[in-house]
Amino acid sequence: MADYVIEMLGISKFFPGIKANDNITLQLKRGEIHALLGENGAGKSTLMSVLFGLYQPDEGVIKKDGKVVKINNPNDANDLKIGMVHQHFKLVECYTVLENIILGVEPNTAGFLKLSETREKIINLSNKYGLKIDPDAVVENITVGMQQRVEILKMLYRDNDILIFDEPTAVLTPQEIDELMLIMKKLASEGKSILFISHKLSEIMSVANRCSVLRKGKYIGTVDIKDTTPEDLSTMMVGRKVNLQLEKKEAAPSETVLDVDNLTVSSSSSKKDVVKDVSFNVRRGEIVCIAGIEGNGQTELVQAITGLMKHKNGTIKLCGNDITNDSIRERSKKGISHIPEDRHKHGLVLDYNLAQNMVLQKYREPEFQKFGFIKFDAIKKYAQRLIKQFDVRSGQGVDTIVRSMSGGNQQKAIIAREIDKDPELLIAVQPTRGLDVGAIEYIHKAIIEQRDAGKAVLLVSLELDEVMNLSDRILVMYEGELVGEFKSSEVTTEQLGLFMTGAKKDKVSKEATK
């Protein structure tokens, strides 16, 4: 038994109305990388929060090296040498790397910090595990990859032996992911035990030794990675067979719908140009994807096209009409549908009910109002049809306050509204962010249906798998410029990664796209 360094036996955790964890068992061997797989809301994070002392389990025990332990708070976890890299980094942005690593366990004399000795220890650790960092850099100025290395060093500095990684690859580029995988293997070979939370099957297959699967708060089973396939894992995770490969016909693009010429956009906070002289087009019957690492101008590009942001230079044409100076409402009326990046900020009015949200763009039409008075019955009927057609699930039907709905159903509601407008151009920004496999499958299908119905689709995504699966044509954006254009069938994720990080650049002119 002693080869289990951590055992979580029969753990249950109840929240009002839900069983977040229901009798879950997880056993971690010394020196292994153990993946924890499950959809959103399957209870992975709750289980890890229990192990890290953020929640107390209602039932069950935790054993460390065979002995029962009680973990009341993160300090207890730390004393048991359990450390965690949270999904959203817990770093103080205006502190240096060094200050962040020592925060909470500062070496000091009478309260005064002693930074010089610490620096040496940290540099040694970073060399030992190949975690490149600059101890004096301020965290807000370093890359996400380096921030993650700082988080790992925080655990190593505290001599933690059990390392929890909560969805660590969500924010990384393909190159950084490869690097992280190497680091994790190195840590495991040094005797550290790693719990790796993920819902990306390819990563689990490449790095983990074993994998435990959760579904809807219940424990499904643990498998050895070498005896399993991604298909088996996804079936365990979702509870039914999921088609991992999207079925999609060859695109048959026809005339141009969106035509962007030399578009330049300045950031609203600083005067810098964040979109620089961008030209491209999107045709009927194709899905064009803008790929890139977050913050390279994709958001601003889309906001300039939809009218949420003012542009500085250039023209935007929709079906041959210049819409460069049209208002948001006019653009929407002329046939732009927008599934926004931030569904809470730009997609929904969270404290309105579902029916009201469904007519946010249509309430002015005679169908829904008379002399400025809203026809609530008509709105209700309309919303009921959409809910049925798009399978939007909610507690009280069209009267549900949108805030109380799950992320997947909120997103489905937006998609229902935007697709039902019968647009010329559908712009989808990160349409599956934070959703589970089932919902992702549904949304991908809906987007492909739109393409096949002869709409032009502009997709912006940070998820490379989504980019590769969904799009017909890929444009890579780096520091506000389009630096590469590919047919999705003719490019690999590794190549895309090189363009996304600016390691390679092509000149993209619109002539090539025609």
Partner 1 sequence: MSAGLLILIKFTLLSGIVLMYVALGGCFSEHSGVINIALEGVMVIGALFGILTLCVLPKSLPGFLIVTISIFVAMLSGIIYSSLLAFASINLKADQTIGGTALNILATAIALVVVKRYNNVINPGSQSPKLTYDNSLFLFKVGPLTLNVFIVLGLILLIASYLVLYKTKFGLHLRACGEHPQAADSVGINVYKMRWAGVLISGGLAGIGGMAYIVPSVQIWNFEVGVGGMGFLALAVMIFGKWHPGYIFLGSLFFAIFKSLANIYDSTFLANFHLTKEIYNMMPFIASLIVLMFTSKNSKAPKAEGIPYDKGMR
Under 8 Å between Cβ of 51 and 71:
yes
Min CB(89)–partner 1 separation in Å: 8
CA 276 to chain centre: 26
Site string for partner 1, 107-126 (x = CB under 8 A): -x--xxx-------------
Out of 2, 16, 17, 94, point to the residue binding partner 1 (CB under 8 A): 94
Residue 105 or 182 having the CB closest to partner 1:
105
Find all residues with CB under 8 Å of 446, minimum gap 6, and list them.
Answer: 390, 415, 419
Residue 90 or 487 having the CB closest to partner 1:
90
Taking Cα atoms as reference points, which of 152, 216, 143, 220 lies closest to residue 180? 152
Residue 154 or 284 having the CB closest to partner 1:
154
Give, in order, the Cα–Cα distances in Å from 287 to each of 43, 444, 468, 488: 34, 11, 11, 10
Give me the torsion for CA of 391, 393, 397, 400, rounded to 10°.
-140
Min CB(419)–partner 1 separation in Å: 34
Looking at the DSSP bridge assignments, the partners of residue 322 are 317
Query: Judged by CB under 8 A, which stretch of 98-106, 171-179, 357-365, 415-423 contacts partner 1?
Result: 98-106
Instruction: Determine the size of the site formed for partner 1 (CB under 8 A).
Output: 25
Residue 394 CA to residue 391 CA, distance in Å, equals: 10
Under 8 Å between Cβ of 195 and 34:
yes
Site string for partner 1, 137-156 (x = CB under 8 A): -----------------x--
Q: Quick one: 315 exposed, middle or buried, by C-beta within 10 A (0-12, 13-18, 19+)?
A: middle
Query: Judged by CB under 8 A, which stretch of 67-75, 306-314, 369-377, 480-488 contacts partner 1?
Result: 67-75
Query: Judged by CB under 8 A, which stretch of 92-100, 359-367, 414-422, 475-483 contacts partner 1?
Result: 92-100
Out of 61, 66, 72, 105, point to the residue binding partner 1 (CB under 8 A): 105
Residue 56 or 327 having the CB closest to partner 1:
56
Residue 86 or 312 having the CB closest to partner 1:
86
Out of 56, 66, 68, 104, point to the residue binding partner 1 (CB under 8 A): 104
Backbone phi and psi for residue 492, each to the nearest 5 degrees, phi listed first: -105, 165
Min CB(155)–partner 1 separation in Å: 11
Site string for partner 1, 71-90 (x = CB under 8 A): --xxx--x-----x-x--xx
* 56 scored as a contact of partner 1 (CB under 8 A): no
Under 8 Å between Cβ of 46 and 82:
no
* 99 scored as a contact of partner 1 (CB under 8 A): yes
Site string for partner 1, 332-351 (x = CB under 8 A): --------------------
Report the SS3 class of residue 141. helix
Residue 381 CA to residue 100 CA, distance in Å, equals: 55
Residue 93 or 494 having the CB closest to partner 1:
93
Q: CB neighbours (10 Å) of residue 297? A: 23
Min CB(85)–partner 1 separation in Å: 10
Query: Judged by CB under 8 A, which stretch of 68-76, 124-132, 438-446, 457-465 contacts partner 1?
Result: 68-76
Residue 358 CA to residue 26 CA, distance in Å, equals: 43
Out of 3, 93, 322, 399, point to the residue binding partner 1 (CB under 8 A): 93
Longest dimension (CA), the chain: 77
Query: Judged by CB under 8 A, which stretch of 94-102, 170-178, 361-369, 424-432 contacts partner 1?
Result: 94-102
Taking Cα atoms as reference points, which of 63, 59, 55, 50 lies closest to residue 11? 59
Residue 9 or 54 having the CB closest to partner 1:
54
Site string for partner 1, 409-438 (x = CB under 8 A): ------------------------------
Min CB(245)–partner 1 separation in Å: 35
The number of residues in the chain equals 514
Residue 211 CA to residue 49 CA, distance in Å, equals: 18
Q: Which two tokens stand for residue 7?
A: 């055992």
Residue 61 or 103 having the CB closest to partner 1:
103
DSSP 164: E
Residue 75 or 206 having the CB closest to partner 1:
75
* 449 scored as a contact of partner 1 (CB under 8 A): no
Min CB(152)–partner 1 separation in Å: 14
Taking Cα atoms as reference points, which of 448, 511, 514 lies closest to residue 254? 514
CA 196 to chain centre: 17
Q: Which two tokens stand for residue 346?
A: 């730009």
Out of 92, 252, 349, 503, point to the residue binding partner 1 (CB under 8 A): 92
DSSP 350: T
Min CB(108)–partner 1 separation in Å: 5
Residue 103 or 349 having the CB closest to partner 1:
103
Residue 210 CA to residue 218 CA, distance in Å, equals: 18
Quickly tell me which residue has 């599934």 as its tokens.
Answer: 339
Residue 246 CA to residue 432 CA, distance in Å, equals: 15
Contact residues: partner 1, CB under 8 A: 54, 73-75, 78, 84, 86, 89-95, 99-100, 103-106, 108, 111-113, 154
